[in-house]
Amino acid sequence: MLFRLAFALVSMAALLVDPIDAVSQDMLGSVDLNSPEMSTSEMTRAEVEALLKAAPQGPAGQRSADLQGKRLSRLDLSGLDFSGSNLRLAKLNRANLNGARFDRADLNQAWLIDADLTAASLAKASLLGTQMQRAKLGGADLNGARITADLSGASLIGARLAGADLSADMRNQSMGLMRGVLKSADLRNADLSGANLSRADFEFAQLQNANLANCNLNRASLAGADLSNANLAGADFTESDLASALLPSAAALEKARNLDKARNLNLARHPSE
């Protein structure tokens, strides 16, 4: 009887937790990243190149290879073209993907922890449930991509995410609220103009000089984030969390929308013009 009562109380407490804090995207606690499954490759670069070359051509003449679930960690795949390919569940941890192309590729639930995607192109790629902690994406093109990936600690300096969708997937919450997670990520000088960032997590992110014009930041978490000199023209801050955030000048904030509806807004923290 006491066990049932305790279970009921725990269940009730769980229902009171803010869904934003009940995210179960972080899978690293139960995964050994040093295991052969997560740290080795079952193919060579030459074999990957041959597979890409032999892949059937799509309607637009582009080849789309099937690499679903393949172990490709620590492999040098720099400069290769994976556009339109199926890389769902693939393991690419610590892989060198510098300058590679993944336009319109399926990278859902793939693993790219500590991967080097510097100057890579992921335009309109699908990154649902993808693990990309500490990935290097400096100068990468993610324009129009669908991203509910974990990019905590990732470097996206100068990355392009115009029109990208990092909003929460409200249709499938069986594993928790899936949304773009960029905790402590470096987005200095990044272009996020017109992006859907609703409910996305930017806690303690570096967003100095970032372009957030016309972004949807409805219910996004920006607690502790640094938005110094960011372009906020037309950005919607309805119900966003700005606790301890470092914000631009008052003149820049006047161009934002619904800032008065943001939570934990401390105007005293606005830097002087």
Tens digits of per-residue pLDDT, 23-56? 344 556 667 888 989 999 999 999 999 999 998 8
Please say if the pLDDT value at position 17 is more than 60.
no
Please say if the pLDDT value at position 105 is more than 60.
yes
Please say if the pLDDT value at position 60 is more than 70.
no
Amino acid at position 262, single letter: A
Name the 3-class secondary structure at 55: coil
Q: Are 140 and 159 in contact (CB under 8 A)?
A: yes
Farthest CA pair distance, the chain: 66
Q: Are 234 and 213 in contact (CB under 8 A)?
A: yes
Among residues 49, 131, 125, 124, which one has the least CA distance to residue 89?
A: 131
The percent of residues in the chain predicted with pLDDT above 90, rounded, is: 74
Determine the average pLDDT of the residues in 258-271: 77
Instruction: Give domain status of residue 239, yes or no.
Output: no
Domain with 167 in it? 34-201
At 29 the pLDDT is: 62
Instruction: Give domain status of residue 115, yes or no.
Output: yes
Q: Are 205 and 181 in contact (CB under 8 A)?
A: no
Instruction: Give domain status of residue 126, yes or no.
Output: yes
Among residues 103, 34, 53, 95, which one has the least CA distance to residue 70?
A: 95
Alpha helical stretches, state H, 17-139: 36-39, 45-54
Instruction: Residue 108: give its domain's CATH number.
Output: 2.160.20
The percent of residues in the chain predicted with pLDDT above 70, rounded, is: 82
Q: How many domains does the chain have?
A: 1
Burial label, 245 (beta-carbon count in 10 A; 0-12, 13-18, 19+): buried
Mean pLDDT score across all residues of the chain: 87
Instruction: Give domain status of residue 106, yes or no.
Output: yes
Instruction: Give domain status of residue 220, yes or no.
Output: no
Instruction: Give domain status of residue 240, yes or no.
Output: no
Please say if the pLDDT value at position 193 is more than 60.
yes
Please say if the pLDDT value at position 185 is more than 50.
yes
What are the pLDDT digits (tens) for 142-177?
999 999 999 999 999 999 999 999 999 876 655 557
Instruction: Give domain status of residue 69, yes or no.
Output: yes
